[in-house]
Structure 1
Amino acid sequence: MVFIPGFGSDQSVWHPVARAFFADFRVVLLDNAGTGSYLHESFQQSHYLNMTAYADDVLEICAELKAKQIILVGHSMGSMISVLAANKQASLIDKLILIGASPRYLNDGDYFGGFTQHDLDELYTAITLNFDNWLDGFAKLAMGSSHEPSLAEKFADAIRGIPRAQMLTALCAIFQTDHRADVEKIDTPTLLIQAKDDVFVPFAVAQYLHKSIRGSSLNIIDADGHLPHVSAPQKVIDAIAGFV
């Protein structure tokens, strides 16, 4: 099982969930480029303008470990990285588990991703002009209102450690890309895990993915916030265990 974190998180975010599978699986935890233990100096802005480079990194790690029959578990940004990796090396990937996934955050005609371009422009401006206030609000929204403040504070601290230019590059790679065509190519057994109340990924997006990915399963868990693997790890463990 290879666990891929979302924006602002490093591999430690998976510890509560991943340890439940140590006995039955070879578990691999990794950091996306530019976060965690990955040297910030190695993050090349021009290389990580979209998710493809991150997917290539995951496949390179899997090749180095000679991993086969892989279950990719991705959260948010990590979900689309998983989708791209599965499309590139379908023979290596046995299953996909996508948590809080969105193929496109921007609204587009009848597609409701939850954000307008004006929303995103305001986000980029807030990061540039008033970072601390933006980060405090973003972390609280992401974690959900019903959880311990320390969870949001820890998430904010992780984001604060990312150089600002790298953060904006990663956010643009997330928010300005469209992976709807990529999810339609998936032919791998897929579990979609969606928190009941996720401010960043509307339920309509989970339904869209469920419809677009052939044979996928959709598990709506009783949790709020965009990081249920942090705020409600046992519910995520139960959902994964029922699928693998």
Structure 2
Amino acid sequence: MDVRSRSNVVVTGRPDGPTVLLAHGFGCDQNLWRLVVPALAERFRVVLFDHIGAGRSDFTAWSPERYVSLDAYAEDVLDICEELDLRDVVLVGHSVSATIAVLAVNREPERFAKLVLLTPSPRYVDDGDYRGGFSRADIDELLESLESNYLGWSAAMAPVIMGNPERPELGEELTDSFCRTDPAIARVFARLTFLSDNRADLAKVAVPTLVIQTARDAIAPQEVGRFVQRQISGSELVTLDATGHCPQLSAPEATAKAIMEFMSTP
């Protein structure tokens, strides 16, 4: 199966516009970008895809031998760029895909014009003076719950990740998204997401970078966003007046505005 079909690549927007490539986070698929895409598509060519094992990707392309690290997901991003001959790309990575985006940009910086990291976390586990937001015991408990009862974990965690309890439909959408993911694949991807330590990769980023965080995020607290911004030379930090780890759903207008303003600056 070719790259486009394998990763369910969708291209929309202005064919002659600058290219923005949107990479979704754990348990999600490209559908979670749908509220920001219309604004972006007015001015840019927008490329969306599903990580292997998510959405409408080819689940048979996933194997535990290949997807042993986040590097494999970064390779998939680069394969899409090569297949579509994408140049001067603005790569937007959400959550764990912020780390995947960093890895992709570091491998082929010449292909990318800019990088946007949406609610990133290079390490979720607290480590000395570094505050990732979780103790190792917290993460071990989270992964044990996920592995023993994935659907129950999804129903419990999605509202926490999404925030905005006054808007329960957002948490319900994320729960539904989790439940569409193959549990066996989700278990492996979750361990990569929550146990990886990619802090050292941040200093290697050599393209203009925007870090977007929300004011209230139970998964990636503001300390993490500030850490990421400090580690990437010359990067900018924007804090949205929003709640939750998925502002492309909870605050799509503000998220789209931040991305477009950064794309439009020299």
The TM-score, its normalising length taken from structure 1, stands at 0.97
> 1:147–1:231: 8 Å Cα contact kept in structure 2?
no
Equivalent position of 2:15 in the other structure: none
> Percent identity between the aligned chains?
39
Residue 21 of structure 1 corresponds to which residue in structure 2?
40
Pairing of 1:32-181 with structure 2 (within 5 A):
32-181=51-200
Partner Cα separation in structure 2 for residue 46 and residue 2 of structure 1: 27
RMSD: 1.1
For 1:10 and 1:151, locate their aligned partners in 2 and report how far apart those are by CA, in whole Å: 15
Does residue 11 of structure 1 match 2:30?
Answer: yes
Q: Aligned letter for 1:53?
A: A
Quote how far apart the aligned CAs of 1:161 are: 1.6
Give the Å deviation of 1:242: 1.6
2:117–2:212 Cα contact (<8 Å) kept: yes
Shift of 1:128: 2.8
* Higher-RCO chain (CA-CA 8 Å, sequence separation at least 6): 1
Matches of 1:44 and 1:14, distance apart in 2: 26
Structure 2: distance between partners of 1:7 and 1:147: 23
Q: CA deviation at 1:109?
A: 1.1
Alpha carbons 1:17, 1:237 under 8 Å: kept? yes
| Paired residue type of 2:51 | N
SS of 1:241's partner is helix
Aligned mates of 2:133, 2:42 — CA distance in 1: 39
| Superposed CA offset, 1:25-83 (max 9, x none) | 21100101100011222211121121101110011011110110000011001111110
Post-superposition shift, 1:217?
A: 0.5
Is 1:211 the equivalent of 2:230? yes
73-82 vs 158-167, which moves further: 158-167
Matched residue pairs, number?
A: 244
Letter aligned with residue 191 of structure 2 = C
Q: Which amino acid aligns with 2:175?
A: A
Task: Please tell me whether the aligned partners of residues 139 and 152 of structure 1 are also in contact (alpha carbons under 8 angstroms).
Answer: yes
What is the CA-CA distance between 1:147 and the residue it aligns to? 4.5
Question: Matched residue of 1:157: which SS?
Answer: helix
What amino acid sits opposite 1:170 in the alignment?
F
Unpaired stretches in structure 2, ≥5 consecutive residues: 1-19
Q: Is the 8 A contact 1:3 1:74 kept in 2?
A: yes
Structure 1, unmatched stretches of 5+, are none
CA distance in 2, matches of 1:147, 1:83: 34
Q: Which amino acid aligns with 2:46?
A: V
Q: How far, CA to CA, are the matches of 2:192 and 2:147 in structure 1?
A: 17
SS of match in other structure, 1:27: strand
- In structure 1, how many angstroms separate the alpha carbons of the residues matched to 2:153 and 2:42? 40
> Cα offset for 1:184?
0.9
**In structure 2, what is the Cα distance between the partners aligned to 1:148 and 1:162?**
23
2:216 to 175, 188, 197: 197
Shift of residue 130, structure 1, vs aligned partner: 3.6
CA distance in 2, matches of 1:57, 1:193: 24
Partner SS for 2:218: coil
Aligned-partner SS, 1:187: coil
